Amino acid sequence: MRIVMKFGGTSVGSADAIRRVVEIVRAQAQQHQVVVVVSAMNAPTLRTTDTLIAAARAAANGDAAAAATAAPRLLDLYMHAARELATPAECATLEPQLDEMFAYISDLARSIAVLGELTPRALDLISGQGERCNARLIAAALRCADVPALAVDATELIITDNQFGNARPLDAPTRQHTHARLLPLLEQGTVPIVTGFIAATEQGIPTTLGRGGSDYTCAILGAALDADEVWFWKEVDGVMSANPKIVPTARTLPHLSYVEMAELSYYGANVLHPRTVYPVVRRGIPIRILNTFNPQHPGTLISKDGDSGTAKAVTAIKDVSLITVGGPGMLGLTGVAGRIFAAVARGGANTLLITQASSEQNVCLVVPQADAAHAVAELRRELAPDLSAYDVDHVDLQEPVVVVAVVGSGMRGTPGIAGQVFSALGAARINVIAIAQGSTEYNISLVVQDSDGERAVQVIHETFQL
């Protein structure tokens, strides 16, 4: 098999963690062609990317010394780990390379301080240095464990547009560069250790794929290399049937479909962002979520077809507000829904849930609590003529509320699931304020009072014995 696997910042955040990574890669490389993508070190006391970005911003405000202090601290973090993981000879090669990178950052910060301006392009140059350090460190650690490995900067592989800070890959040149650079390494049995997060334009100018972009790097390379599987090593055993802090009996889901993963990530489960993994989803490449700190656990497999089953997981989004717009004149008032959504968008609120019963007497929307007041103000402004004509008689706000979502593609076409959900909630005397189910039937969402949120999740989890 050919596997592209990514280790996140915490999975490579200390010498101890990297030692585990080395063991995992060593075992897999004996049986498979492996490409490894790494984030920068996210050490408990020093988060590389955050530190680099803060230094760049400080420089723009005239404080070049911030970078001058951050650079040696970061160098120390990486070299300290290197000395635990690699031979003195490897360290002697590594140190001047890292030293040069951090010296470059300090120089850049000085120029930024002189100019008093931080362009997105300069920020990308600075913020991606951690990945470059870490790929070199981890490749050295692997070589010292007798695994042939080579650090490769993704600037040589992933070609993007020039949207600095949030660049998008160009498929054809990325595929071409990736094949040319990585296939020979794989054929000779070398494990490429590729920097996450960074890429370059066609002219070779460094870009980044957005915060948390290493997952995207992994998916882009998995797709470009026609990988058999793409693995994300994280700090959890996989995707869970519910938040274990709310439901102690929650368990890891062995298998999810792509659609279920997308529904769950929308509803706040901390999995993979659907846009991030789109390159592999589009090609039907299976994804695994695995735990660096518990590598024996089988994790969660995410593929085109989920296994059977009805409801699979239940999640909750807290700190949201319910806005209700209603009135006797809304029946048959054409265009009112469009105006409502446009007003909410103008208020800067992201709508999480919408319901309108066919009586058309009211429209309910759920938005994040932080945006609700703005959204309501915009709505009242937009609907002022309708309010004075009494077509609309109220724009109400109820907060905080909780959205509880039951997800599972097996719910599609299975009668009675909604009935089970509502009977269970009724038996537990939990009042449901609003309900939404998209016609894909992968998700039933309901709005309950804040104080009922956790209980609702527990009751549903129990009902379906998730």
- Which listed option, Mg ion, ligand ASP, none, makes contact with residue 196 (CB within 5 to 8 Å by class)? ligand ASP
Residues 43-82 that bind ligand ASP (CB under 6 A): 49
Interface with ligand ASP includes 178 (CB under 6 A)? Answer: no
Q: Which residue is nearest to Mg ion (CB)?
A: 9
Which region among 68-76, 205-213, 258-266, 311-319 touches ligand ASP (by CB under 6 A)? 205-213
Longest dimension (CA), the chain: 82
Report, in Å, the least distance between residue 197 CB and Mg ion: 8
Which region among 180-188, 209-217, 272-280, 452-460 touches ligand ASP (by CB under 6 A)? 209-217
Q: Which amino acid is at 430?
A: I
- φ, ψ (nearest 5 deg) of residue 168: -115, 135
As to burial, measured by CB atoms within 10 angstroms (0-12 exposed, 13-18 middle, 19+ buried), residue 451 is exposed
Nearer to ligand ASP, 214 or 362 (CB): 214
HEC sequence for 312-361: CEEEEEEEEEEEEEECHHHCCCCCHHHHHHHHHHHCCCCCCEEEECCCCC
| Residue whose pair of structure tokens reads 């790929």 in the numeric block | 135
Direct distance between the N- and C-terminal alpha carbons of the chain, in angstroms, rounded to an integer:
32
SS3 318: strand
- φ, ψ (nearest 5 deg) of residue 272: -115, 145
Which region among 56-64, 208-216, 242-250, 273-281 touches ligand ASP (by CB under 6 A)? 208-216
Q: What token pair was written down for 459?
A: 């009751």
**How many chain residues touch ligand ASP (CB under 6 A)?**
11
Helix, strand, coil percent values for the chain (each to nearest 5): 45, 25, 30
Report, in Å, the least distance between residue 44 CB and ligand ASP: 14
Interface with Mg ion includes 9 (CB under 5 A)? Answer: yes
Q: DSSP for 395-433?
A: EEEEEEEEEEEEE-GGGTT-TTHHHHHHHHHHHTTPPEE
Residues 15-54 that bind Mg ion (CB under 5 A): 39
- Which listed option, ligand ASP, Mg ion, none, makes contact with residue 40 (CB within 5 to 8 Å by class)? ligand ASP
Interface with Mg ion includes 130 (CB under 5 A)? Answer: no
Interface with ligand ASP includes 33 (CB under 6 A)? Answer: no
Interface with ligand ASP includes 211 (CB under 6 A)? Answer: yes
CA-CA distance, 362 to 358, in Å (whole number)? Answer: 9
Interface with Mg ion includes 196 (CB under 5 A)? Answer: no
Report, in Å, the least distance between residue 253 CB and ligand ASP: 23
Residues that bind ligand ASP (CB under 6 A): 9, 39-40, 49, 130, 196-197, 211-214
Residues that bind Mg ion (CB under 5 A): 9, 39
